[in-house]
């Protein structure tokens, strides 16, 4: 399939959450390089200008990823419209701000409906089509927070840990169909992800007010990458014959995760005698 698509000179993308942030930047960049894009957003008006700018190379679709029937219809419409889907890019998501004690069950369920179940709906709708056409790529936008956590956004982190596990299992399950999976793990970037549209806030408990204020202040001093610098990296992943399962976007994640795993290994090793004693006799 790769050879065929190279001869045709373009790739076909299906991108969720294309109204802003990385989804918008990557949809625009893919179109500029001559690819075709099915761009989805909850509000069609938010991506109408893409249609004006790129004409027949783009299909704009209104999509709420938490509606499985709507997802299936959108994926099938995009596939029928362009004749194939080369890259399915799950980008839609948001963050819940609040401590573990503050987040309500309904708020956590809603977070997972978008970040996990919405992603799964897209994958499940796309897989039969990708198998039928002989292969394809699935790119899932996770985060460096899929490996480490921060306080106050622990539920968001947990959704990304789940996201990572699902995609790692998926990659092994679909490899024989020539479907390749890559988890894109951005660090901190100056996108709209921190806007009111991408954040929801749990009701506060007074005892955490100062702690959360200190956390928010620490975020304000965090160095953020330039989203416009990212498309070339995404294209290299999308075009690679053997793409990585995981890819850090930006320069900050690897040092952070390297230190976190070194600490974990040190603790596991410190407690290894206790762990081994708990094994008991072989049976």
Distance, in Å, from the CA atom of 219 to the CA atom of 217, rounded to the nearest integer, reads: 5
Distance, in Å, from the CA atom of 26 to the CA atom of 40, rounded to the nearest integer, reads: 13
- Active site positions, annotated: 142, 156, 160
Distance, in Å, from the CA atom of 53 to the CA atom of 69, rounded to the nearest integer, reads: 29
Distance, in Å, from the CA atom of 105 to the CA atom of 112, rounded to the nearest integer, reads: 11
Please name which of 82, 85, 40, 47 lies closest in space to residue 61, comparing C-alpha atoms. 40
- The three state secondary structure string of 145-214 is HHCCCCCCCHHHHHHHHHHHHHHHHHHHHHHHHCEEEEEEEECCECCHHHCCCCEEECCCCHHHHHHHHH
Taking a C-beta distance cutoff of 8 angstroms, is the pair 42, 114 a contact?
no
Tell me the CA end-to-end span of the chain in Å, nearest whole number: 49
∠ CA 143-217-209 to the nearest 5 degrees?
A: 100
Supply 88's token pair.
Answer: 């399915």
- The three state secondary structure string of 41-82 is ECCHHHHHHHHHHHHHHEEEEECCCCCHHHHHHHHHHHHHHH
């Amino acid at each position: 399939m790769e050879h065929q698509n190279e001869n045709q000179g373009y790739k076909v993308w299906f991108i969720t959450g294309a109204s802003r942030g990385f989804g918008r930047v990557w949809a625009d960049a893919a179109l500029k390089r001559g690819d075709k894009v099915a761009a989805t957003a909850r509000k069609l008006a938010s991506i109408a200008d893409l249609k004006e700018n790129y004409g027949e190379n783009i299909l704009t679709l209104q999509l709420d990823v938490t509606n499985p029937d709507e997802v299936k219809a959108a994926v099938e419409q995009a596939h029928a419209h362009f004749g194939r889907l080369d890259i399915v890019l799950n980008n839609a998501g948001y963050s819940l701000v609040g401590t573990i004690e503050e987040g309500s069950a309904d708020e956590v369920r809603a977070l997972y409906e978008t970040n996990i179940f919405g992603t799964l709906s897209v994958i499940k709708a796309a897989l039969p089509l990708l198998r039928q056409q002989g292969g394809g790529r699935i790119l899932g936008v996770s985060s460096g927070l899929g490996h480490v956590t921060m306080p106050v956004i622990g539920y968001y982190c947990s959704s990304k840990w789940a996201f990572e596990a699902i995609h790692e299992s998926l990659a092994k399950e679909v490899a024989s169909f020539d479907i390749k999976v890559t988890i894109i793990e951005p660090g901190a970037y100056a996108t709209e992800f921190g806007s009111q549209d991408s954040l929801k806030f749990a009701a506060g408990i007074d005892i955490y007010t100062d702690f959360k204020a200190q956390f928010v202040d620490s975020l304000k001093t965090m160095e953020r990458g330039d989203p416009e610098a990212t498309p070339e990296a995404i294209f290299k992943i999308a075009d690679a014959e053997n793409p990585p399962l995981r890819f850090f976007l930006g320069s900050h994640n690897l040092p952070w995760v390297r230190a976190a795993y070194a600490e974990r290994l040190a603790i596991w090793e410190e407690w290894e005698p206790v762990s081994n004693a708990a094994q008991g006799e072989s049976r």
